[in-house]
Amino acid sequence: MESARRSPKCSAGCGIAKVEAKEAVSDGPVSEKAVSEMQVSLSDRLSFGQRIALLVIPKLAALLLAVIGATLRFEVIAEEGAVPETPPGSGIYCFWHRCTLPCGWYFRNFHCSILISRSFDGELIAQTLQLLGYTSVRGSSSRGGAASLLALQSLVERGVLVVFTADGPRGPIYQTKIGPVKLAQMTGQAMGSFYLLPERAWVMRSWDRFLIPKPFSRVAVSWARKVAAPPAGADSETLEATRQQLNAALERARERAEEHFRLH
């Protein structure tokens, strides 16, 4: 990866390529509590069983995804006015949580950085994605959100493609959070939307109806038009209106992918 896209290296022993909150918060007002939380190592809070799981599950998951991913056939579609991103890519993009696996494989060469919660499940996802070439910023809208956004702002300004699972990590499904909108406001960058739909997949009984692509499936890569960033001084009503526009774009991408397989 070029030096302009290189993310800060992970501290020794953590096993994940992270952006450290300490670097990010130097450029903006963040509470000491948020900084402290961002610097606490998750490994100090894990049980023995969870530590074993982290040694095994990410490697198995990445291997399984690589085996299945090598058989998938991707078909790129886009609504009028949308321009599909190509590697390495830059800017702010969002997708729905349920298509994380096909996205994880398709975008592995885009040098993405993704916001992932600091939960145990988030650690599993972060370590799996790191094996596929991703970096992660750890945080959420409820814990360390300001520090996380500042870390993402630093990456966007350096030309890195930053990605949000817009309705994650706990939903509700197909309802984007405000985080991408706030980052767009901070950077002035428009927000892109995409949705990856396998024609054949196992559907989990989870809140997001998580998709696991079946081998040799076709996968629609659907792009929607970008949503403009809100003004720097936008009030809460303007931010909410922009969030709704982003939500509509994500839904158009999903509906177009579903329609693609009904017609082809």
Q: How far apart are CA 174 and CA 158, in angstroms?
A: 30
Residue 215 structure tokens: 């081998």
Residue 81 structure tokens: 């006015």
Contact 166, 246 (CB under 8 A): yes
Q: What percent of the chain has pLDDT over 70?
A: 81
The pLDDT tens digits of the residues spanning 196-235 come to 999 999 999 999 999 999 999 999 999 999 999 999 999 9
pTM of the predicted structure, to 2 decimals: 0.81
Beta-carbon-side half-sphere exposure of residue 209 (alpha carbons within 13 Å): 6
Q: How far apart are CA 200 and CA 256, in angstroms?
A: 16
pLDDT > 60? residue 13: no
State the Cα torsion 256-95-87-159 to the nearest 10°.
130
pLDDT band at 30 (very low <50, low <70, confident <90, very high): very low
DSSP for residue 28:
S
The pLDDT tens digits of the residues spanning 110-169 come to 989 998 888 888 889 889 999 999 998 887 655 557 888 999 999 999 999 999 999 988
